[in-house]
Structure 1
Amino acid sequence: MSLSPTHRSFPAHGSSVVTCLILSRGRVISASDDHSIHVYDPLAGELRLALLGHEGGVWAIAATRDILVSGSTDRTVRIWDLASGRCTHVFGGHTGSVRCLAIVQPEWVEMEDGQREKWPKRALIVTGSRDHTLRVWTLPRSGDAGYSCFDEGDPDDADDNPYHQLFLEGHDHAVRALAARGRTLVSGSYDCTVRVWDLVTGACKWIMVGHTQKVYSVVLDPLRHQAYSGSMDGTVRIWDLKTGTCAHTLTGHTSLVGLLGLSPRTLVSAAADATLRVWNPDTGALLHTLAAHTGAITCFYHDEFKVLSGSDGTLKMWNLRDGSVVRDLLTGVTGVWQVVFEGRRCVAASNQTLDGTVQTVLDVWDFTEDEDWVVADVSPETEDDEIESEDEQGELINA
C-alpha cells in the first residue's frame, strides 16, 4: 500500500518564475527569471547560497560535483564553485540568449570499427543559443585558472578563450534544445530540423528533416542509436542515428509537444493539449495516454515506475505500469513550473497565493518509507569516480 510522504515547503525567488530545478548531491538548485540561482538545503528549507552575477534570466543549468554551469538571456555562460558560491569563469561568444546547455562527461563509446574508446577525453560544456549556433567548451576543473570574457576586450568574442573548443553553425533559427553523450550531440531548432554533430570534430553528421513546425525538445538514446524530438506540429519523431532517417512518427498529441523524457524502457511526451503519452521507444507503440489535467503540461519527471506532471495548478503522480493517477501532490496553486525526483526525494517549484499575494514556493516530499516510489540512482561510467549524471530537466512550455 502506498504511504503518504513527509512534506515541507519554503519560499524561493520572491514571486518570480523558477525556470530550472535540479537535485545534486543533496542540494536543491533553482534558477529563475529574476537573474539569480539559489542553492537550498532540502531538509532545513534554508537558502545556503545565492549565486548572483547574471544580468538576465537564467534558463539553463547543469551540475557535476561542486561545479555548476548556467546560461542566461544575458548571452553568457557562467561556471560556479558550489562549495564557496563564487563565480570562477564567465564565457562570452553567443550573441543571443543561451537557452539550453549540457555537461558531457567522458564515457566509453563504441566506435564504427567495433573498438571502444573514451569520449570526450575531458568533460565538456555544450551550449545552444537563440543566435542559431551551438558552442562547445572545456569544463573547467576545480583549481583551473579563472576566466572572464569581460576582462578580454570584446565580451562577445570567444577566440581568445582557452576553454572554447568548437563553434557549430548551420541552424537557421534559434536552438531550443540539445542532448549530448560521448561524442554525439543532438540539437533541435525553431528551423524545424534536428541536427546530429560530432563533438570531437564539430562536423554535422545529419540534418534530419520531417517536422513541419518548431522543434522544442530532443532526447538522445545511445544504446538504441536513436534520438527523439518533439515539435509544435504535435508529433514526436524517432530518428535512426546510423542513417539520419526518421524511423517512426508518433501521432496523437493535438498541439505543441514541449517536453520529452526517456527511461530505459519508456519514452514520455508532454504537450500543450493537457496530456502525457507513454511510448515504447523500440517500436513507437503507444502504451498509455495520461489524461487528467485540464491545461498545458508545464513540467514532468518520469522513471520506470512513475510520472509526475505539473499543470493547471496541480502536480499529479501517475503509476507508469497502468497509467493511473496515484495521488495529487499539489492542488489549488497558481502554476507548477518545475518538478524533479531523485532517489527518495521529490521537489517542485510553483507559484502559490499566500496571505493574498503570489509567492514562489519550493515543496519537498520524502518518500523514504514508501518503497513503491524510491528508485536507486544509476550513473553512467565517467572519467571520475562518483560523478553524478543529472536527469534532463523539463522546461516551461513557452511558445
Structure 2
Amino acid sequence: MAGDGESDVQMLELKSIIGFNGKVFAGLKVHPDRQHIIYPLGNVVIIEDIQTKKQRYLNGHTNDVSCLAISKSGKYIASGQVTHMGFKADLIIWNYETNDIYCRLSLHKVKVQSLAFSPNDLYLLSLGGQDDGSVVIWDVKAKQSICGSQAALKSAGMTYCVAYSNSNDNIFVTGGNRTLRVWELDRGNRKIRPTDCTMGQLKRVVTSIEVSEKDEFFYCGTTSGDVLKVSVEKQLFRHYGPAKNKYSKGITALALVKTDEMLVGAGDGTVALIKGDTFKKVKSVKIGDAGAITSIALRGNGHQFFVGTENAQTYRFNFAEFTYNLISTCHSDPVNDIVFPFGSSDLFATCSENDIRVWHGSKEMLRISVPNITCHAIDFMRDGRSIISAWNDGKIRAFLPESGRLHYCIEDAHNKGVTAIAATSDCKRIVSGGGEGQVRVWMVGSKSQKMVDAMKEHKGSVSCIKVHKNDTECISASTDGTCIIWDLIRFVRNQVIFANTLFKCVFYHPGGMQLITSGTDRKIAYWGCIDGAQIREVEGSKSGSINGMDIASDGKYFVTGSKDRLIKVWDYKEAEVTHVGIGHSGFINRLKICPNQKIIVSVSDDGAILCWDYPF
C-alpha cells in the first residue's frame, strides 16, 4: 500500500456486534453451561453471555458460516461454512474455553450442510450440501476423518439434516427429501452402514431431526407441516401428526423437552408445544413479523428457551406461561447507511430494505417499516425533529424520530429512485440525488414541500451528497466519474472533478478548503475546493471499491470501509493508515465516527452493525 507504514499499523478494538444470521437452520444454540448463547453472523461465530451481553468472537472462516454444533460436554464448538463453486468448504472445531481453533477439517465441496457431535465427544458427524451429498465421520481426538459415504440413494433427493444418538457413539440418523436413514459406525473396518427407514406410502421432506432421550424413537419435522415418529431400533415408521391443521409453511425447527413433549417452530412464525405421543397441541403462539422460526434452543431443562427467526430476531420464551420477549434484533438485509444526530453520540440510525431503525447502543429503540421498498440513504435534520430518507420508489420520506410516524412525503422526487440525501444546517432545505443523475433542492416545512431547483449535469446515479457547513454550496459524487460542487444560492456548477472511477463517497474536510473522495478504483484522493485540482492520491484498498468514508470533526483522522471487509483509520496530513479493524464478513457499505469521537460504527452487506473503539 502506498505510504501506509504497514509495520506500524495497530488493530482496532471491536466493542460489540449487532446482528444474527437467522437464515442458518438451528443456528442459535445454548451452551451446556446455560450462561451463553452461540450464533453465527457472516463468517464469525459469536458467544454471548445471556446476563451481561458481553461477547467474544470465533474468527477463522473465510466465508459465511452455514451450520453449528456444540458437544455435549460443552468443550467443543463446531462450525461449517459455505464457499465458492469448485472449492472445498472448511469446518472448524473450536476450543470453547480458549476461543482457539482446535482443528480445521476439509473434505466437503462448496457447503457444509449440517453437523452433530457424538454423545461422548469422540466423533463429529458432518453432512455436505447439494453439490457434495456425503456424510463423513471425524475422529475428534485424532483430528482426521475415519470414513464417509453418500448420504442418500441416487433415486432420493438432497439430505438436509443429521442427528446423533444420545448414548451410543456409533448410531446416527440422516434425513432429507424422500430419504430417512439410521446409520451404524463400524470403527474397526472404518465403515458406516445405512438402513433405510420403512415409510410405506408416506413421502416427506425432512428438515429437522431430534432423537428421544432413551434412543427409542426419533422425531422429524417436515415441509408438509407434520411430525414423523420413527423407531430407532427397527427403523420403522410408527406415527405422524397432526392429521389435521398442519403447521403452515412447514416445520422449520424442533426441540424435545424432558416431559415427553416437543417444541415446534413453523415457517409462518408459530411456536407450539405438542405432546410427544399424539402430537396434539398443548400451547401455541404466533410471532408477528418474525418470518420462519429457524432455531429453538433449550436452556437447561427447558424452563426457558430461545427462539431464532429468519428475520434476524431472537426471543426468550418462558416455558410455563409460554410468553416471550424480544432480546435482540437486527437487519436481515444489507445495511445501506448509518447516521448520528447532530451532537449526539448515544443514538444512531441505520437503513436497509423495508425499514429504518434507531439504536441506543446495541438496543433497538425504534423501527420504521415501509414494506417491499429499499431505503438508500438517511439523514437527521440538525434540530433533531425529523429523519429524512431516500427510497428506491422515487420518494423522500420524513419521519418523526420519537414515534416513527410519517411527517411528510415528497412524491416523485426522482424518477429512477432517490439514491442520496443531505439536509442543510438551517433545517429549511433538503438536497437529494437520484438514479437519473439529477441533484434537486427542496424547500421543506411540516405543511409544505416544494422543489426550488434541479441541477442536471451528472450522467450516472448520484452516490453521495454533502452540504458545506456554510449552507451556500454542496458537493455531489456520481458513478459517472465526476464530483460537482454546486452553488446553492444561484444553483449553478462552481467546480467539477473528473476521475477514472465510479465515485462512492465524497467529504468536505472540516477546514472547508479541501475535499476527499473514494470509489471503485480503490484510490483515496484529496482535492482543492476552489480550483478542483488534485492534491494527493493514495491506494486505499488492495481489493474492492471503497464504499464508506467519514472524517473526524477535528479533521485529524478519517476512516474508510471497503469491499475488502477492512476498516482503516488514516492520519489525514500524512495519508497513512494508523489502525485496521477486522471483523466484517460482508462488504462494508458505510461507516461513521460518532460526534464525541469515542466509537466508529460500520455497516455491511450481511446486515451486521459493528461498533469499534475510536483509537485517539
Paired residue total: 297
Does the CA contact (< 8 Å) of 1:125 and 1:137 recur in 2? yes
CA distance in 2, matches of 1:5, 1:279: 29
Q: 2:226 aligned with 1:220, yes or no?
A: no
Q: 2:453 aligned with 1:206, yes or no?
A: yes
Residues 5 and 344 (structure 1), Cα distance of their counterparts in 2 relative to 1, 3 Å cut:
farther
CA distance in 2, matches of 1:54, 1:350: 10
Larger Rg: 2
- The aligned residue for residue 388 of structure 2 is 126
- Runs of 5+ in structure 1 lacking a partner? 19-33, 39-48, 107-121, 141-145, 148-160, 352-357, 368-373, 375-399
The Cα shift of 1:129 comes to: 0.4
- The aligned residue for residue 578 of structure 2 is 327
The Cα shift of 1:139 comes to: 3.3
Specify which structure has the higher proportion of strand.
Answer: 2
- The aligned residue for residue 301 of structure 1 is 550
The Cα shift of 1:297 comes to: 1.1
Give the aligned CA root-mean-square deviation in angstroms. 4.0
In the TM superposition, what whole-angstrom CA distance separates every residue of 1:217-244 from its partner, at most 9, and x where no partner exists?
1111141511111111111111111111
CA distance in 2, matches of 1:299, 1:67: 20
CA distance in 1, matches of 2:337, 2:471: 27
Query: Which range moved further: 302-311 or 336-345?
Result: 336-345
TM-score (norm 1): 0.62
Query: Which range moved further: 209-218 or 165-174?
Result: 165-174
Residues 135 and 285 (structure 1), Cα distance of their counterparts in 2 relative to 1, 3 Å cut:
same
The one-letter amino acid of 1:260's match is: V
Q: 2:485 aligns with which of 238, 254, 266?
A: 238
* Sequence identity (%): 19
The Cα shift of 1:329 comes to: 1.8
The Cα shift of 1:98 comes to: 1.9
The Cα shift of 1:95 comes to: 6.3
- The aligned residue for residue 279 of structure 1 is 527
Q: 2:13 aligned with 1:7, yes or no?
A: yes
The Cα shift of 1:72 comes to: 3.4
The one-letter amino acid of 2:413's match is: G
Q: Counterparts in 2 of 1:27-176, with a 5 A limit? A: 52=329, 57-64=334-341, 69-74=349-354, 76-77=355-356, 82=360, 85=363, 90=368, 92=370, 96-106=373-383, 123-140=385-402, 163-176=406-419
Residues 128 and 349 (structure 1), Cα distance of their counterparts in 2 relative to 1, 3 Å cut:
closer
Does the CA contact (< 8 Å) of 2:9 and 2:577 recur in 1? no
Residues 52 and 263 (structure 1), Cα distance of their counterparts in 2 relative to 1, 3 Å cut:
same
The one-letter amino acid of 1:341's match is: I
CA distance in 2, matches of 1:78, 1:315: 23
CA distance in 1, matches of 2:399, 2:547: 30
Does the CA contact (< 8 Å) of 1:5 and 1:365 recur in 2? no
CA distance in 1, matches of 2:609, 2:397: 34
The Cα shift of 1:15 comes to: 2.9
Q: 1:191 aligns with which of 436, 439, 442?
A: 436
Residues 197 and 307 (structure 1), Cα distance of their counterparts in 2 relative to 1, 3 Å cut:
same
Q: 1:260 aligns with which of 486, 492, 506?
A: 506
The one-letter amino acid of 2:13's match is: H
TM-score (norm 2): 0.42
The one-letter amino acid of 2:541's match is: H
Q: 1:247 aligns with which of 486, 491, 494?
A: 494
